[in-house]
Each structure stands twice: as structure tokens, then as C-alpha cells.
Amino acid sequence: MSTSTGTVKWFNETKGFGFIAADESKDIFAHFTDIQTQGFKVLLEGQRVEFTVVQGKKGPQASNIVILQNS
């Protein structure tokens, strides 16, 4: 699987999910369990991220999300 990059469109800390505006495709669902970081797993609007696209229950989903830069 190849990796993609994008920008966090929005992320709801309370619900633990949001969407990433992928550079090469449409928006991708993001869940906190797929964020590769220590401690509290959250994404901030505007952050650049790298991820792998997998097929989730309701469509494309980001997996192995790595934060490239903070907003």
C-alpha cells in the first residue's frame, strides 16, 4: 500500500474522528485509533499528515496517520 498526504479538514476531540483533505483524492475519514503518536491522540485543523488509505466500514479511511507538521 502506498502512502498519501493531506491536510486535516476538521477533527472532533470528543467523538474521536474527523476528515483529512487528501492531496490526490476526496476527503478521507480519520479515527483517533489510527493516529500514530504517544499520549492523547488528536488532530488539529490545518495539520499536514501522511497516511495509508484502507477500506473502512463506510468507505475510504485513513490508517497509520503520522503528523508531518503542526498547524
Q: What is the reported pTM? A: 0.89
Residues 58 and 5: their CA atoms lie apart, in Å, by: 21
Residues 71 and 59: their CA atoms lie apart, in Å, by: 27
Residue 48: exposure state from Cβ atoms within 10 A (0-12, 13-18, ≥19)? middle
Q: What is the pLDDT along the chain (71 residues), one digit of tens a residue?
A: 689 999 999 999 999 999 999 998 899 999 999 999 888 899 999 999 999 999 999 999 999 999 997 65
The CATH class of 3-69 is mainly beta
